[in-house]
Amino acid sequence: MKKYLSLVKFAHTVFAMPFALLGFFLAVQHPGKHFEGRLLLLVILCMVFARNAAMAFNRYLDRNIDKANPRTASREIPAGVISPKSALVFVFLNALAFIATTWFINELCFYLSPIALLVILGYSYTKRYSALCHLVLGMGLALAPVGAYIAVTGAFHTLPVLYGFVVMFWVAGFDIIYALQDDDFDRSMKLHSIPSALGRTKALKLSELLHLLCAVSMIVATWVAQLNYPQIGWLAWIAAVFFLASLVYQHLLVKPNDLSKVNLAFFTTNGMASLLFGLLTIIDLLL
């Protein structure tokens, strides 16, 4: 179990999970809806199964690339800790579990589940064809608040879609920062990424632009949330300000000629930002 949790970087679930929980708790405030522990558990399981499938498939598909890259050669599959066949079986089981779990939620979630899998699994191919792979990754995680809302209401709504845009621009921006570590390697392997296509300086500028769009989306989403949920007050705005401050902070950490703090910017800063934003906003919504 420890090996497979490492394979899928289970700790990184912290990025999208708070937004999924926010989508869930926004939905249970909808007229005629109420909190159900069983449904919350199903939503969390969907998140875990979908992410496990996506991450393991990415590791399986990139096993030869990872083996050639000194930074990633110690990952489970290239290092021989987990066999490619076992990883693929793990992908299949988690994808099947995801679809099965949506069956117990509602019809719309079940019918949309193959499309969600297509997006999150399809991301693994995009680096071979387009530098827009970062946006595709962001799109995959952006499904979290939308899917959780649909799980409760069985319908789409503007607000979770706005939070989906927040996630998409946020993730795409910090994934560009993370990809700075492999710009030379990607060029040598003819792989596509923003840093390998534009160089480090321009890639960081584009990351800043994406995070600016994230900030605009966050402000609009918080404003719309207050319009739809009168109980939301100042705490949600504090959460938004903290989240946006974390975006500024990570850009202060990483420079084109100094990538020593990429991991601090990537995991620690973004993980804390997501957790505190989700926690404070949900508290404001409920209390």
Angle between helices 234-253 and 158-179 (to 10 degrees): 20
Domain extent for 221:
2-286
pLDDT at 51: 93
What is the number of structural domains in the chain? Answer: 1
Q: Which pTM does this prediction carry?
A: 0.93
Helix, coil or strand: residue 258: strand
Average pLDDT, integer, range 258-281: 86
Kindly report the number of other CB atoms within 10 A of residue 191's CB atom. 20
Mean pLDDT (the chain) is 92
Phi then psi dihedrals of residue 115, to 5 deg: -65, -40
Segment 162-221, tens digit of pLDDT? 999 999 999 999 999 999 998 899 999 999 999 999 999 999 999 999 999 999 999 999
Maximum average pLDDT range among 101-105, 124-128, 153-157 = 101-105
pLDDT confidence band for 104 (50 / 70 / 90): very high
Average pLDDT, integer, range 48-62: 94
Residue-level length of the chain: 287
pLDDT at 103: 96
pLDDT confidence band for 60 (50 / 70 / 90): very high
Average pLDDT, integer, range 134-161: 94
CATH of the domain at 267: 1.10.357.140
CA triplet 282, 44, 92: central angle to 5 degrees? Answer: 150
pLDDT confidence band for 25 (50 / 70 / 90): very high
pLDDT at 93: 96
Of 240, 244, 223, 245, which is closest to residue 281 (Cα–Cα)?
240
Does residue 265 register a pLDDT over 80?
no
Of 115, 91, 111, 95, which is closest to residue 103 (Cα–Cα)?
111
- Using CA atoms, how far apart are residues 88 and 93, in angstroms rounded to an integer? 9
